[in-house]
Amino acid sequence: MNAFFSSNSIPLIALHGWGMNESVWQSMDALLPDEIDFLALNLPGYGGTEALPEMTMEATVDWLADQFDGICHLLGWSMGGLVAQAFCHRYPERVESVSFVASTPSFVQRDGWREGMEEAVLKQFMQSLSENQSTTIRRFIALQFMGESGTAKLQKQLRESLSIQPPSSDTLDTGLKWLLNCDYRQDLERLPPQHWIFGGLDRLIPVSAGRDIQLLVPDASISYLDECGHAPLLTQAEAMTEKLLDFILQLKSK
């Protein structure tokens, strides 16, 4: 499989989800062939990366464009998937392919789109965050692994990792507003070759979203990890990495 990669391979750029940082990609990084130039980024305001003067989606994708040269394979988890979609629409010439993990074009339910969170539920989460940030994030971490067994140690490690350089309340609030307001359904067909990975046990992103995306974009690649929640990059890193590499290799072989 590594024969398709070389020292001048197109880099793979990974974007984390809401409240997280680049450390979530460590397990996957260890599984990638050495020939792949892998770059996991801390988005502005996360993991010690300075927040932008204006934390808009447009400013964030402009920042992302300055983080690497040329083109890339783009990878986004959860909220990072929204950033990846926005980047593809603003800089289509910079993306060879894009893969999404536990993400959708719209995180909340809208007319004609039931494959998301109820708007009222997300707004209640935003209110809880403003009242008690640490408790809300702890509950959010637990929600990502709901339905999966044996994740207590992993959850503890994740909480400890995030506590080192936690994002500000403003950064977290901005991310939640993206989840509430971003809707890229009408732009799905304009994406570069796209790959969506869903967890069968995900309580945040219904697995049925894969079916609806396939209807909107018949050529999209859709993968499923049945016994997995919202964070396959943490609980099923090997299986997820295999699906990701298979997708990229199929593109190279065409």
Catalytic residues: 78, 202, 230
Hey, what are 181's tokens? Answer: 């307001």
CB 76 within 8 A of CB 103: yes
Give bridge partners of residue 225 from the DSSP assignment.
199
Q: Read out DSSP for 196-250?
A: EEEETT-SSS-TTHHHHHHHH-TT-EEEEETT--S-HHHHSHHHHHHHHHHHHHH
User: What does the alpha-carbon distance between residue 228 and residue 214 come to, in Å, rounded to a whole number?
Assistant: 20
Residue 219: CA atoms inside 13 Å, Cβ hemisphere, count? 9
What value does the CA radius of gyration of the chain take, rounded to a whole number of Å?
A: 17
Number of Cβ within a 10 Å radius of residue 251: 16
CB 43 within 8 A of CB 80: yes
User: What does the alpha-carbon distance between residue 208 and residue 228 come to, in Å, rounded to a whole number?
Assistant: 14
Hey, what are 251's tokens? Answer: 């593109």
Residue 5: CA atoms inside 13 Å, Cβ hemisphere, count? 18
CB 233 within 8 A of CB 26: no
